[in-house]
Amino acid sequence: MDNVMRIFRKEMLSVLRERRVIFSTLILPILLMPLLMYGPSLLLGNAARKTVEEVQKVGVRDLPEAALEALRAARLEPVPAADPVAEVQEKKLQAAVVYEGGNYTIYGRLSGGVTQSSVVVDKVEGALRALKEQEIARTLRSQGISPAVLEPFRITTQDASPKQERSAGLFAFFIPYFLVLFILIGGQVVAIDTTAGEKEKGTLEALLATPAPLSQVVLGKALATLVVALAAALASVGGIVLGGTVVRSFFAQQLEAMQGGGTQLGGALALEPSGYLALLVTAVLFAAMMVSVQLTLGLYARSFKEAQSYMAPLQFVFILPLIALQFSDFLTQQQWYYALPAFNVMLLLDGIVKGSAQGWQISLTWATTLVFAVLALMLAVRNFRREEVVFRN
């Protein structure tokens, strides 16, 4: 065990000497997470709010006076447009309306997601919808019918999610996503440096020539990689929690206005102590499996750059199931899902944050991930014993 700790200290000292690594793996996630979580939403929300409050020009053709008045009431300025479609396409106007044969046709640039044009189109639609309701109500009254006949009953929707799931908000997606991603990113730096990096520096052969058993050398390197990977992951979660508390306290009104009763932006972790412990154990087991895989790939590479080229596809392999995690509620929960390497961890992290993880899911995920971690470590030790891999340069 002394040899393991010596190797561990050696690798950690090598990491600590690199200030850029410390900044990118520990400090940068804390600073970036609030920005990534709320920056785009706040910027987009402010831009959309300004667009709603300001007066925009809207191209019109053959609109009746009532429609023109409705547009003006919605803070829109109708301007005659000879060719509404062309003027919208050329960005001379954000939107245009044409009235023909009893139909209103609204033109806007809607293919780019949420744009200024789409916000103006929403304003136009709202104005014409209000005008339509007024016309219907006036027609009904002229016939002696109350407009209330159009609304014989009311529909109210309430969120019946468990309290923990409701309070978590988007944390239910952010935490598994960034926890897995930063374990991969944080471990990658050390794994490459302790394998392909040492190959390039010529120190790996000297290390393997020492009396220390090969398994302890690999274990020491894996332990150092594990510590950095977990530190990066916990730093990212710390940044997420920081964004969910500090940022929301400063921009509470803007965020509440943007969510509009939908999915809660951000959220707050409200786990029991056992829940936090389950998160930590799951992250440790997943990191143990992944750092062993990364050490194997790094050792197989001839150079630092080649090792990086091996690690990049590894990240993409995990991004797809992480994205699919958003639709986990549409999956019929099967026991074997929690035996799939990596995907079981993502499902379990999602369940822990939401407070819906069951005992058998935790036990099966931990057991299978531990088995995969041991197998991956055995594969790493096996590759360190193969001269054609160690001296592949």
Are 19 and 64 members of one domain? no
Residue 264 has a pLDDT of 47
Residue 263 has a pLDDT of 41
- Please report which helix (H) or strand (E) contains residue 100, including its range: strand 95-100
Are 109 and 245 members of one domain? no
Q: Indicate the burial class of 245 (C-beta count within 10 angstroms; 0-12, 13-18, 19 or more).
A: middle
pLDDT at 343 over 80: yes
Domain membership flag for residue 49: no
Residue where the block lists tokens 């019929």: 332
Q: What percent of the chain has pLDDT over 90?
A: 17
What's 327's DSSP letter?
A: G
Strand spans (E) along the chain: 56-61, 76-80, 95-100, 103-108
pTM of the shown model: 0.70
Are 383 and 268 members of one domain? yes
In the chain, what is the straight-line distance between the N-terminal and C-terminal CA atoms, in Å?
31
Q: Tokens for 230, please give them.
A: 């977990």
Q: Which domain holds residue 357?
A: 2-38+165-390
Are 285 and 377 members of one domain? yes
As a whole number, mean pLDDT of residues 141-170 equals 77
Residue 46 has a pLDDT of 64
Are 377 and 255 members of one domain? yes
Which has more confidence, 91 or 174? 91
Q: Give the mean pLDDT of the chain.
A: 81
Asked if 311 contacts 211 with a C-beta cutoff of 8 angstroms, the reply is no
What's 78's DSSP letter?
A: E
- Please report which helix (H) or strand (E) contains residue 208, including its range: helix 204-208
Residue where the block lists tokens 């035996």: 339
Residue 261 has a pLDDT of 42
Residue 262 has a pLDDT of 41
Domain membership flag for residue 46: no
| Torsion (CA) 152, 129, 47, 177 in degrees, nearest 10 | 50
Domain membership flag for residue 64: yes
Domain membership flag for residue 70: yes
Domain membership flag for residue 270: yes
| CATH for 92 | 3.40.190
Q: Which tens digit of pLDDT belongs to each residue from 27-70?
A: 777 777 666 666 655 666 666 666 667 888 899 999 999 999 99
As a whole number, mean pLDDT of residues 282-308 equals 88
Q: How many domains does the chain have?
A: 2
Q: In which band, very low, low, confident or very high, does the pLDDT at 235 lie, cut at 50, 70 and 90?
A: confident
- Please report which helix (H) or strand (E) contains residue 58, including its range: strand 56-61
Q: Which tens digit of pLDDT belongs to each residue from 236-272?
A: 777 766 665 666 666 556 555 555 444 444 555 667 7
Are 132 and 8 members of one domain? no
Distant-in-sequence, close-in-space partners of 98: CB < 8 Å, separation ≥ 6: 60, 61, 62, 84, 104, 105, 107
Residue 368 has a pLDDT of 95
